[in-house]
Amino acid sequence: MTELGNRLKEAREEKGMSLDDLQAATKIQKRYLTALEEGNYDIIPGKFYVRAFIKQYAEAVGLDSELLFEEFKKDIPNSYNDEVSEKLSSIKPQRELPKSASKALELLPTLLVAAGVIVVIAIIYVIVQAVNGGGNQQAEEPKTEESQSKYDVSKDSPLTKENQQNTDAQKDSAEDDKEKKDQQSDENDKLTIKATASEGSSTTYEVSGSDKLELEVKANENSWVRVRDEKGSSLKEGMMKKGETFQKNITDQSQIDLRIGYAPGVEIKINGEVLSYKLDPKTVMTQNITIQNKKEEKSS
């Protein structure tokens, strides 16, 4: 086992994470994680993946990957030569086109012009058919007395009054629904979520403009998640399976701390509004999120 492997394993054990937990958090196969701890890079397909797996492993257990690369640069393979050789091998010499292909290219402009003429004729045909169809609809026979009588219902008939009452009730219900939606929209318009600081894999967000705050954490993919309140007490910690949701009213909390093991698979909402990750989840998969509740002071 190498010094780098020892450093990674010790950090994982300090976090209380098993290899299965780490596999779920990083989406890296367990056998590759074991290879990183043992320094057995030969079973990993390519030097590029060795560096990528070390970076994801380090961030998942709270280590700075850049510092690790600098400290153990002699032990970590360099992927530059592999990338250059792959790019050079993928370049193929250009071949001359056969004579038949060059003749086809010469005829291409003529074929395009012919196709354009056909399209124009088709458009004109469709327009003519539409105009003729509209004229035929206007020439329909007038309604018979029997069919006309269905529409000549007296305004004072019970049927008309009942329909009118139903229509009025529907209008009132629609207005009530619209008023409720407008109130909800006003509350969301006042809510502000702003990223104020970001360092490494940690980001701080300030939330203001709403008297009530509801936190929702949804796992779109399996991920390890930890949620702590302002006193450091754990509200949620462990693996969240795909489709699982955690909700908590955080109105009385001045600060909430979250640690997300696999950020691309976790969605965070406040009052139904999605929190946009300041750090790209595809690049920084393990992130620390701090949500600060900036309550507005009310005048006496």
The domain limits of the chain are: 3-90, 190-293
What superfamily does domain 3-90 belong to in CATH?
A: lambda repressor-like DNA-binding domains (1.10.260.40)
Q: Write the pLDDT tens digit of every residue in 107-156.
A: 888 889 899 999 999 999 999 898 887 655 555 555 555 545 444 444 45
Strands (E), 60-99: none
Res 161 pLDDT > 90: no
Say which residues have a Cβ less than 8 Å from residue 283's Cβ, sequence separation at least 6. Answer: none
Instruction: Give residue 258's pLDDT.
Output: 84
94-119: burial string, b at 16+ Cβ within 10 Å, e else: eeeeeeeeeeeeeeeeeeeeeeeeee
Torsion of CA 172, 176, 178, 179, to 10 degrees: 130
pTM: 0.41
183: pLDDT strictly greater than 60: yes
Instruction: Round to whole Å and give the CA distance between 59 and 80.
Output: 22
Q: For residue 252, what are the CA distances in angstroms to 102, 247, 249? A: 75, 15, 8
Q: How sure is the predictor about 94, in pLDDT bands with cuts at 50, 70 and 90? A: very low
pLDDT tens digits, 198-238: 998 998 999 998 889 899 999 999 999 899 999 999 999 99
